[in-house]
């Protein structure tokens, strides 16, 4: 549920149709910039209640990288 | 006379958001200037700690979430029933809210508007009620932000709220001047509070440095803003109403 809601937000952030949001969707300088990263930080916080630093998001190259980063961060957060 | 123009002894001043940041700094400073301080915040544990840290005697604290605007009138009546009439009120409570338009939802709006604008108006209304304020020069001071004066990515809702506070201050000043109530706001730049820390920890080092450089004098401290609040609450500002005092380390020079 949280993941679905997050993906809906992410498709809005990337300005694409949610049906086009596949794991291999590549980020580039047009769709993955300072504003979209800030929006993603806010969306991750809202849907997963965790904070991920902008620098880490900036290193993601595609949707799969991002989802794996979120998954890893949730596991680390739960261990605390 | 001029050497004690900031003397606030025998004044009763209410401070919202008093458990941390700017509100806490203002409350502590007011107590050192001789005021009887009424602390208001939703965090009772931290509130009590601030209450214990105040200089002098006669201070009090009230645990209340100011986003619940419909209870503010009753809260202020209760405070003045127990503590006597107020000489001034500093509304420092507020929430920042960053959300680029792409993920903004209607449900996000009310919580931000309620605490930042709704509470401002209801506190002003409460302050005007019979028995709530002392006769003579009184002062309302509301926290605003440079976000109400300058654009910034992702801050449209927060900016709108703070610009609305500044607008309300002008009209309230006109409406309340006949009752000797001065009304002003403080547009603060980035101040190193817990709220500020939460915001910048999500930014890259480069972004934080760029943000800092826009503040010609660096990021501010809570005391830098509290100083301005003391001025606006004191007789030193008796000819100042309806203004937004910019306290931003030079941020708005650009």
Task: At B68, list the tokens.
Answer: 């619940």
Task: Name, in order, each residue with C-beta under 8 angstroms of B15's C-beta and a sequence gap of 6 or more.
Answer: B23, B26, B27, B30, B37, B38, B39, B40, B89, B90, B92
Rg of chain B taking only CA atoms, in angstroms: 17
Give the pLDDT band of residue B1 (cuts 50, 70, 90): very low
- Cα separation, B120 vs B5, in Å, equals 27
SS (H, E, C) chain B: CHHHCCCCCCCEEEEECCCCHHHHHHHHHHHHCCCEEEEEECCHHHHHHHHHHCCCCCCEEEECCCCCHHHHHHHHHHHHHHHCCECEEEECCCCCCCCCHHHCCHHHHHHHHHHHHHHHHHHHHHHHCCCCECCCCEEEEEEEEHHHCCCCCCCHHHHHHHHHHHHHHHHHHHHHHHHCEEEEEEEECCECCHHHHHHHCCCCHHHHHHHHHHCCCCCECHHHHHHHHHHHHCHHHCCCCCCEEEECCCHHHC
B201 contact A CB<8A: yes
Weakly modelled stretches of chain A, pLDDT under 50:
none
pLDDT of residue B3: 58
CB contact under 8 A, B102 and A42: no
Distance CA A43, CA A10 (A): 8
- Find chain A residues with C-beta within 8 A of B204's C-beta: 53-55, 58
The two tokens of residue B181 are 């109530």
pLDDT at B205 over 50: yes
- Judged by CB atoms closer than 8 Å, whether chains meet at B100 and A42 is answered as yes
Asked whether the predicted pLDDT for residue B152 surpasses 80, the reply is yes
pLDDT at B7 (0 to 100)? 80
Task: Please write the tens of the pLDDT for every residue from B166-175.
Answer: 999 999 999 9
Query: Span B195-220, mean pLDDT?
Result: 85
CB contact under 8 A, B100 and A35: yes
Q: How many Cα atoms occupy the beta-carbon half-sphere of B117 within 13 Å?
A: 18
**Nearest-by-Cβ selection for B204 from A9, A39, A54:** A54
In this prediction, residue A78 carries a pLDDT of: 82
* Per-residue pLDDT tens digits for B195-204: 788 777 767 7
- Provide, as residue numbers in chain A, all residues whose Cβ is less than 8 Å from the Cβ of B205: 55
The distance of A63 to chain B (nearest Cα, Å) reads 17
Instruction: State whether B103 and A9 contact (CB < 8 Å).
Output: yes
Return the pLDDT at B132. 97
Going from N- to C-terminal start, the domains of chain B cover 2-191+223-247
The predicted complex's ipTM stands at: 0.76
Given A39, A52, A58, which is nearest B204 (Cβ)?
A: A58
Is B158 labeled as catalytic in the residue annotation? Answer: yes
Q: How confident is the model at residue B96 (pLDDT cuts 50, 70, 90)?
A: confident
* Predicted local distance difference test score (pLDDT) of residue B201: 73
Q: Does the domain formed by B2-191+223-247 have CATH 1.10.1200.10?
A: no
- B202, A15: Cβ pair inside 8 Å? no
């Amino acid at each position: 549920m949280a993941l679905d809601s997050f993906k809906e937000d992410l498709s809005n952030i990337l300005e694409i149709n949610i049906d086009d949001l596949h794991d291999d969707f590549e980020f580039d300088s047009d769709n993955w910039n300072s504003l979209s990263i800030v929006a993603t930080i806010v969306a991750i916080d809202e849907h997963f209640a965790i904070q991920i630093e902008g620098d880490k998001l900036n290193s993601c190259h595609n949707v799969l990288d991002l989802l794996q980063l979120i998954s890893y961060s949730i596991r680390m957060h739960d261990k605390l | 006379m001029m050497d004690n123009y900031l003397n606030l002894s025998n004044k009763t001043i209410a401070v919202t958001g008093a458990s941390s940041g700017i509100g806490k700094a203002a409350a502590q400073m007011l107590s050192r200037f001789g005021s009887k301080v009424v602390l208001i915040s939703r965090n009772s544990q931290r509130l009590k700690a601030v209450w214990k840290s105040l200089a002098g005697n006669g201070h009090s604290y009230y645990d209340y979430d100011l986003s619940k605007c419909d209870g503010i009138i009753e809260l202020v009546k209760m405070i003045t029933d127990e503590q006597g009439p107020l000489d001034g009120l500093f509304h420092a409570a507020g929430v920042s809210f960053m959300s680029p338009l792409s993920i903004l939802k209607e449900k996000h709006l009310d919580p931000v508007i309620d605490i930042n604008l709704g509470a401002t108006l209801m506190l002003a209304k409460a302050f005007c009620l019979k028995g709530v304020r002392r006769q003579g020069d009184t002062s309302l001071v509301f926290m605003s932000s440079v976000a109400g004066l300058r654009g910034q990515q992702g801050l449209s809702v927060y900016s709108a709220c703070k610009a609305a506070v500044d607008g309300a201050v002008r009209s309230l000043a006109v409406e309340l001047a006949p009752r000797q109530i001065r009304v002003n706001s403080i547009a603060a730049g980035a101040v190193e509070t817990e709220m500020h820390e939460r915001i910048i920890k999500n930014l890259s080092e480069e972004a934080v440095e760029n943000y800092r450089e826009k503040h010609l004098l660096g990021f501010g401290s809570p005391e830098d803003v509290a100083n301005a609040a003391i001025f606006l609450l004191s007789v030193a500002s008796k000819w100042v109403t309806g203004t937004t005092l910019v306290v931003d380390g030079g941020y708005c020079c650009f």
